[in-house]
Amino acid sequence: MWETLDQAKEEALGCTKCRLAEGRNSVVWMDGDPDSDLMFIGEGPGFHEDRQGVPFVGAAGKLLDKMLESIDLKRTDCTICNVIKCRPPNNRDPMPDEIDSCKPYLEAQIKFIAPRVIVPLGNFATRFVLEQKVSISRVRGQRFEKFGAIVMPTYHPAAVLHGGGEDSPTARGLREDFESIRDLLAEAEAKVQATDEPQEGTQQALF
């Protein structure tokens, strides 16, 4: 459909395929580095994201930034996007036809960015990525293979904010999962290096 990520972005920014286009202020494409090995996927834009055109800039976004800092990463070290690119009215759940309309854009992001580690945040994104009706409380921290990447779901930062704060079991689980993200990135990098190394008994090409 598209030959580059920029082509997909250009179409998304003018998209009118579903009713969400009527009430949006911004199409929220993504944030971070499109060459990153790490991708976070949320559900959809909220009030602040719709205003600024950037994902995860509200309270949940500040917590995500804090969690990244805890493993020595910044936004510029990953890519951050959502399943849907426009804010649903009053932050309601996206409708099935809205999801279908937006699906090609997320698929393009995954295809062209080709992350080695994908972290869906919360129930909605996890069910979309895994294509299974699962509960985040049951699968968080587990590893799956999808899109040629390691997929490890975790809690949405908003679940911590609404579920007891930094001392809650949800917050502890989120911290544990971010420590695992650090390990998964190191593991993915080691696999790439092993693949790039010439095999024993073979002669490395000079040209």
Asked if residue 130 lies in contact with residue 115, where contact means CB atoms within 8 angstroms, the answer is: no
Question: pTM, whole model, 2 decimals?
Answer: 0.91
Q: Residue 180: inside a domain, yes or no? A: yes
Q: Residue 203: inside a domain, yes or no? A: no
Residue 56 sits in a domain whose CATH number is 3.40.470.10
Question: Burial, 128: exposed, middle or buried (Cβ in 10 Å; 0-12, 13-18, 19+)?
Answer: buried
Asked if residue 147 lies in contact with residue 118, where contact means CB atoms within 8 angstroms, the answer is: yes
Handedness of CA 122, 56, 179, 171 (dihedral sign): negative
Q: Residue 195: inside a domain, yes or no? A: no
Q: How many domains, the chain?
A: 1
Q: Give Cα 155 to chain centroid, integer Å.
A: 12
Range of the domain at 141: 18-186
Q: Is the pLDDT of residue 157 over 50?
A: yes
Q: Is the pLDDT of residue 155 over 70?
A: yes
Sole residue written with tokens 């994908």: 118
Q: What is the pLDDT of residues 62-110, one digit of tens each?
A: 999 999 999 999 999 999 999 999 999 998 989 999 999 999 999 999 9
Asked if residue 40 lies in contact with residue 79, where contact means CB atoms within 8 angstroms, the answer is: yes
Per-residue confidence (pLDDT) for residue 31, from 0 to 100? 97
Q: Residue 11: inside a domain, yes or no? A: no
